[in-house]
């Protein structure tokens, strides 16, 4: 892969054009409690609570078209705990996105 995830403390996900998880950094694994191998076998929707699938899909589409660069959302950890997160998007081309995710404190 030529697009490396950000190595910062923020969780970074490379999302493919069909929302598959193509790459992650160590912070993403730590944030969500999955191994890298587990995340690479997952679809992005696996990390989002079911009731938020629709709005999240719309946001990802808007991000791919450059209409949205930031949003607040919720992700689901491996242990079932939900986290409030801030998501920043960078378009990588060919329908791919780099999502930089940080946990929000409420």
Number of Cβ within 10 Å of residue 76's Cβ equals: 17
40, part of any domain = yes
24, part of any domain = yes
Closest CA to 15 of 88, 103, 104, 102: 88
pLDDT value, residue 2: 41
- The domain that contains 94 carries what CATH number? 3.30.450.20
5, part of any domain = no
Q: Which domain holds residue 17?
A: 11-103
91, part of any domain = yes
* Residues with Cβ within 8 Å of residue 86, at least 6 apart in sequence: 70, 71, 72, 101, 102, 104
1, part of any domain = no
Cβ pair 31, 101 in contact under 8 A? yes
- pTM of the full structure: 0.90
User: Would you give per-residue pLDDT tens digits along the chain (106 residues)?
Assistant: 444 454 458 999 999 999 999 999 999 999 999 999 999 999 999 999 999 999 999 999 999 999 999 999 999 999 999 999 999 999 999 999 999 999 998 6
Give the separation between CA 49 and CA 30, rounded to whole angstroms: 19
Domain count of the fold of the chain: 1
């Amino acid at each position: 892969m030529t697009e490396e995830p950000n190595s910062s403390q923020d969780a970074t996900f490379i999302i493919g054009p069909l929302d598959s998880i193509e790459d992650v950094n160590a912070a993403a694994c730590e944030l969500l409690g999955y191994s890298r191998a587990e995340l690479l076998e997952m679809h992005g929707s696996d990390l989002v609570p079911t009731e938020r699938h629709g709005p999240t899909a719309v946001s990802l589409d808007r991000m791919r078209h450059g209409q949205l660069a930031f949003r607040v959302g919720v992700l689901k950890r491996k242990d079932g705990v939900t986290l409030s997160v801030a998501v920043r998007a960078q378009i990588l081309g060919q329908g791919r996105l780099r999502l930089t995710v940080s946990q929000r404190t409420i």
